[in-house]
Amino acid sequence: MDEDGIPENEVIKELEARRKKDLTYSGGRILSSMCSSPHPLVKKLYPMFLETNLGDPGLFKGTRELEAEAVRIIGSLMGHSGARGFILSGGTEANLTALWIARNRMRRPYPEVIVPESAHFSLDKAADLLGIKAVKAPLLPDHSVDSEKVAELVTENTVALVGIAGSTEYGAVDDIEALSEIALEAGLHLHVDAAFGGFVLPFLRDLGYDSRPFDFSVPGVSSITVDPHKMGLAAIPAGALLLRESAMLRAIETPSPYLTERKQHTITGTRSGAPASTVYALLRHMGRRGYRRNVERCMMVTLHMYNELRSMGLRVEKPWMNVLVFKDEGGKVRKALMEKGWVLSRTRKGEARIVVMPHVTRDTAQALIKDLRDILG
Ligand SMILES: Cc1ncc(COP(=O)(O)O)c(C=O)c1O
């Protein structure tokens, strides 16, 4: 560190120069990410909460109330307004916390969790950190988990089942009702990872699309991950963990004797109140109608692209939600698009993948289709 600091305007210039190297969602070229530009209201309100610390909530009672309210509203969206939980740093922390609860509640000497092969790698991290064996369940051709195979994998060591509602690669939704039956019969924790689908599926249903039940309306569901920083239009970091019963928190209760709250139930100690408060603001401002419109727009672009890509002869998977995947031998199409400035991701099988987030507009889709036509000749 230098002995003397430099003037503010010079620091700002330095940061602006670095920031110019970043891609932006509003630039319209990012087709690989499950995040997007945050809603403008978030940018207005964030500074109000910069000093708040939900790790010491007795000092920030108002902010703590906002977190509880945000959890209650997301809980009601998930079919249970009495759900308890937290606004955490994202899907990884929410999944880790859910498995932490499940492991501690079951207390098995050699704990195992049954996870679909489609699961996000955060569940591998969680299993590793918690000393749980992640047993992978195979998928059906539609990329959802084979529930019959899940039932066969249950052993006396199983502490939890995980179902995915909106898989990272295909947006696939597992048969949560079938998993619920297995979980209830075996007395297991059923965690649903709806990090992406949580802010999509309820609105797909409103819009008349076919969508599988995945939330607390399914009786065996114990906990759900829903990420406001994906389709919820919140700023990074914001992930929610929702629990069916507050009693589950006892399993991870840790005394915090020198703070204003004597027990903590989160992995992180000091945690900003800005994500929770701005998530609350968005939920209040957007309402169901606002989020429904958001999903409606994304789906219109998704289905437009789906039809166009098919008409070009590309083998496109029928989309479960606003995620498009098409066969791409040797990654050639993806590479050619990347050369034209697009950023696409790939599935583990090597297919090209496009996430149609709110920043992927109809104009973006048209520009992409034009470039694709040029590439495919
Ligand atoms: C289904 C699913 N779960 C969990 C995660 C992890 O979320 P995060 O990156 O916010 O920690 C992701 C990220 O894309 C995801 O798609």
The answer to whether position 251 is within a domain reads yes
User: Do residues 324 and 297 share a domain?
Assistant: yes
Joined together, the tokens standing for residue 322 give 């606003």
Atom of ligand 1 nearest to the CA of 168: 16
Q: pLDDT band at residue 124, thresholds of 50, 70 and 90?
A: very high
Q: State the residue for tokens 């999903």.
A: 295
User: Do residues 242 and 328 share a domain?
Assistant: no
User: How many domains does the chain divide into?
Assistant: 2
Residue range of the domain that includes 249: 42-284
CA pair distance 333, 77, nearest whole angstrom: 39
pLDDT tens column, 186-245 = 999 999 999 999 999 999 999 999 999 999 999 999 999 999 999 999 999 999 999 999
pLDDT tens column, 46-82 = 999 999 999 999 999 999 999 999 999 999 999 999 9
Q: Which residues line ligand 1 (CB under 6 A)?
A: 34, 90-92, 95, 120, 122, 164, 168, 193, 195-196, 227, 239
* pLDDT, averaged across the chain: 97
pLDDT tens column, 2-29 = 999 999 999 999 999 999 999 999 999 9
Length of the chain: 377
User: Do residues 320 and 259 share a domain?
Assistant: no
Phi, psi torsion values for 38, nearest 5 degrees: -65, 155
pLDDT tens column, 140-160 = 999 999 999 999 999 999 999
- For position 82, what pLDDT does the model report? 96
User: Do residues 137 and 71 share a domain?
Assistant: yes
- For position 258, what pLDDT does the model report? 86
**Mean pLDDT over residues 101-130, rounded?**
97
Question: Would you give the distance in Å from CA 2 to the centre of its chain?
Answer: 40
The answer to whether position 218 is within a domain reads yes
User: Do residues 52 and 34 share a domain?
Assistant: no
The answer to whether position 2 is within a domain reads no
User: Do residues 71 and 210 share a domain?
Assistant: yes
**Which of 232, 258, 284 is at the close of a domain?**
284
Structure-derived torsion over alpha carbons of residues 314, 170, 153, 90, reported in degrees to the nearest 10: 160
Q: In CATH, what number is assigned to the domain containing residue 110? A: 3.40.640.10
pTM of the model: 0.98
H-run or E-run covering 264: strand 263-264
User: Do residues 29 and 48 share a domain?
Assistant: no
- For position 377, what pLDDT does the model report? 85
Q: Which residues of 82-114 are buried (b: 16+ CB within 10 A; e: fewer)?
A: ebbbbbbbbbbbbbbbbbbbbbbbbeeeebbbb
Sign of CA dihedral 24, 27, 33, 36: positive
pLDDT tens column, 241-293 = 999 999 999 999 999 988 888 899 999 999 999 999 999 999 999 999 999 99
Q: pLDDT band at residue 323, thresholds of 50, 70 and 90?
A: very high
The answer to whether position 1 is within a domain reads no
- For position 261, what pLDDT does the model report? 86
Q: In CATH, what number is assigned to the domain containing residue 345? A: 3.90.1150.10
Measured in angstroms, how far is the CA atom of residue 123 from the centroid of ligand 1? 9
Measured in angstroms, how far is the CA atom of residue 168 from the centroid of ligand 1? 7
pLDDT tens column, 24-52 = 999 999 999 999 999 999 999 999 999 99
User: Do residues 119 and 207 share a domain?
Assistant: yes
